[in-house]
């Protein structure tokens, strides 16, 4: 089954906590070459935000260890605590017997030690600013927050179609909203689309280039489908043009129409 989905091309994690310390939740997302998405997460009744960030990364890395991975895969996270811990602090902690520079025991040592064992040398961590319009980061944040509130979000699994994915997103948001939410609030799938369109506009205006994997995340099309493209093509209100090997750039188009 995993072979039919192809390699994992994108991964994201997030943690949340109501109270810090308090009830917490964590979430992880894997995006496969065929365009399918796998989401998973969990709840902890008494924890901290940092522990949930570490727990999410640990669960995702353990899951990834058994899966084929694209060489450009990175784990996207908005936790600098996670990135700094694995990237620079851990060497000093281990040298000092899991003590900080001040001689105090390292907090969350159990999770850090498990992460040290689970880390994958071919999967670096990439920082993404939280709530910045990144679709996968926004999604795992949504799931983690739902779990922290004691809710049971509906999660996407490989094989789910677009309708099921939209329903999962809508179900999480509707459960997390207070009962007094206005009836005229936009449907969750439309809110998610708006986030992607706003991100595309910023990318086009700034002249930023995208890798093929990043482009697949933005337009939500299978990587295999995009790999077959070599000429400029139109996605909604943007012209998508190749600018080199595995790099693409978006340009605003006056006459937008989606082509797949």
Here the CATH number for the domain that contains residue 60 is: 3.30.420.10
Q: Is 43 annotated in the active site?
A: no
pLDDT at 186: 56
Q: Is 15 annotated in the active site?
A: yes
The answer to whether residue 82 sits within a structural domain is: yes
How much is the average pLDDT of 71-94? 96
The answer to whether residue 115 sits within a structural domain is: yes
Q: Is 24 annotated in the active site?
A: no
Is the domain of 29 the same as that of 132? yes
The answer to whether residue 98 sits within a structural domain is: yes
The structural domain count of the chain equals 2
Q: Is 92 annotated in the active site?
A: no
Q: Which of 14, 39, 138, 160 is catalytic?
A: 14
pTM: 0.76
Q: Which of 39, 44, 78, 134 is catalytic?
A: 78
Is the domain of 148 the same as that of 195? no
User: DSSP string of 205-256?
Assistant: HHT-EEEHHHHHHHHT--HHHHHT--S-EEETTEEEEEEETTEEEEEE-SS-
Q: Is 227 annotated in the active site?
A: no
pLDDT class for 1, splitting at 50, 70, 90?
A: low
Is the domain of 158 the same as that of 236? no
The answer to whether residue 258 sits within a structural domain is: no
Residue with tokens 């943007």: 238
Its domain, for residue 56, covers 2-176
Q: Which of 44, 53, 160, 214 is catalytic?
A: 53
Q: Which of 39, 44, 138, 141 is catalytic?
A: 141
The answer to whether residue 238 sits within a structural domain is: yes
Q: Residue 32 pLDDT more than 90?
A: yes
Is the domain of 148 the same as that of 205? no
| CB of 219 closer than 8 Å to CB of 256 | no
The answer to whether residue 138 sits within a structural domain is: yes
Q: Is 177 annotated in the active site?
A: no
The sign of the torsion formed by the CA atoms of 256, 260, 214, 168 equals: positive
What is the tens place of the pLDDT at every residue in 204-252? 998 999 988 889 888 888 888 888 888 999 999 999 999 987 899 999 9
Which of 176, 205, 236 represents a domain boundary (last residue)? 176
The answer to whether residue 25 sits within a structural domain is: yes
What is the tens place of the pLDDT at every residue in 137-168? 999 999 999 999 999 998 998 876 544 454 55
| CB of 75 closer than 8 Å to CB of 124 | yes
């Amino acid at each position: 089954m995993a072979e039919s989905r192809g390699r994992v091309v994108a991964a994201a994690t997030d943690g949340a906590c109501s109270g810090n310390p308090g009830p917490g939740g964590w979430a992880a997302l894997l995006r496969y070459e065929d365009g399918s998405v796998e989401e998973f997460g969990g709840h902890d009744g008494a924890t901290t935000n940092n522990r949930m960030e570490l727990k999410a990364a640990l669960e995702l890395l353990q899951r990834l260890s058994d899966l084929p991975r694209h060489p450009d895969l990175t784990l996207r996270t908005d936790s600098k605590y996670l990135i700094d811990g694995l990237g620079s602090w851990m060497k000093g902690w281990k040298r000092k017997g899991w003590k900080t520079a001040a001689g105090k025991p390292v907090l969350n040592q159990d999770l850090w030690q498990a992460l040290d064992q689970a880390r994958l040398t071919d999967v670096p961590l990439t920082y993404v600013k939280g709530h910045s319009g990144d679709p996968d980061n926004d999604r795992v944040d949504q799931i983690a927050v739902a779990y922290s509130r004691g809710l049971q979000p509906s999660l996407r699994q490989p094989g789910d179609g677009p309708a099921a994915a939209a329903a999962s997103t809508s179900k999480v948001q509707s459960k997390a909203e207070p009962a007094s939410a206005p009836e005229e609030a936009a449907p969750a799938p439309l809110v998610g689309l708006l986030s992607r369109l706003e991100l595309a506009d910023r990318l086009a205006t700034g002249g930023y280039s995208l890798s093929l994997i990043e482009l697949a995340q933005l337009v939500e099309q299978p990587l295999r489908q995009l790999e077959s493209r070599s000429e400029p093509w139109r996605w909604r209100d943007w012209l998508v043009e190749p600018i080199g090997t595995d790099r693409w750039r978006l340009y605003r188009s006056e006459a937008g129409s989606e082509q797949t």
